[in-house]
Amino acid sequence: MEESGDRHELPSRRIAEEFRRAIAAGEIKPGDKLPSERKIAEKYETARNTAREAIRLLAEQGLVTAKQGKGVFVREEQKLFRFGGDRYSMKNRATGLTPFRLECKKQGKTPRIEVESIAREKPPQDVAERLKVQSDEQSVLHRENHYFADDEPVQIVSTYLRWEEAKGTLLMEEKTGPNGIYGRLEELGHVMTSGRDEVTARMPGADETAVLQLPPGVPVLEVLHTSFDQAEEPFEVTRYVHRADRTGLLYDFPVEQLEETSA
């Protein structure tokens, strides 16, 4: 490992940077176990607290993860669940599988979906604006599901529907029937003809960290999806919170061309 040229740099940061460079160069490979705090402290002639802080910095950068009773390991690359514009296609619906279950099938993983809650609520402001409902009234039905692949949590899905439409229907039940909520919404007259996804990356909140079992330093990808029907009216808003180290987003889109005009 190379020595840092900055003599004023904190020892813990210098040690972490040398490990980072070694990991990036492939000198320490994914799945490799890092030396113990004691051995790191001995090598760099520093205190164990300094070695511990260096490991914490590496964990914050998402480079290593601690396994209780086993040690600290360089994180291995994981297969990504890729979601994009085709998740709502009729072709995929014809398979009888949801987009998540399709991704699990492609990767040989076992899917599991837990319905965490179904409740009438006041919507968050961003949801109220997109669904065109009141934010100061219990104007929506909120369905929150947690998604797992091989028992590992990968995403939190919060779907919001207008209460006046959802009340008294299967949309209020855990099992919503054939084709899921979109089948029921079509029966209410809403056929999805377009959608808009607003994608942001951010650090998770405490609840999200707990549900997704996120290692230190791992952000989330948030996708705020709005469905529009044949009248170009919004009828469903869903917030997807994905583990950024387990999920990729893939979108194919046409590029509008200028129309040729005759001379």
pLDDT at 142: 98
Phi/psi at 216 (5° precision): -60, 140
pTM: 0.75
Task: Please report the domains of the chain, with CATH numbers, ordered by start residue.
Answer: 11-74 (1.10.10.10), 81-250 (3.40.1410.10)
Q: Could you list the beta-strand ranges (E) of the chain.
A: 64-67, 71-74, 81-84, 111-121, 140-149, 152-162, 194-202, 220-228, 234-243, 247-250
pLDDT given at position 78: 64
Beta bridge partners of 120: 141
Q: How far apart are CA 137 and CA 127, in angstroms?
A: 13
pLDDT at res. 152 = 87
Residue 41 has phi, psi (to 5 degrees) of -60, -40
- What region does 241 belong to: left with phi over 0, alpha with psi -120 to 50, or beta? beta
Q: DSSP alpha helices (H): ranges in the chain? A: 11-24, 37-43, 48-60, 90-93, 99-106, 125-131, 163-166, 180-187, 206-212
Amino acid at site 5? G
| Residue the block writes with tokens 């490992």 | 1
Distance, CA of 22 to CA of 213 (rounded, Å): 27
Q: Which amino acid is at 57?
A: L
For the segment 216-250, what is each residue's pLDDT rounded down to a tens digit? 778 999 999 999 999 999 999 999 999 988 888 88
Per-residue confidence (pLDDT) for residue 1, from 0 to 100: 41
For position 212, what pLDDT does the model report? Answer: 94
- Residue 98: what residue type? T
pLDDT of residue 263: 56
The position carrying tokens 């007259």 is 189
Low-confidence ranges of the chain (pLDDT < 50): 1-5
Q: Say how far apart CA 150 and CA 217 lie, in whole Å.
A: 23
Query: Cβ neighbours of residue 172 under 8 Å, at least 6 residues apart?
Result: 118, 141, 166
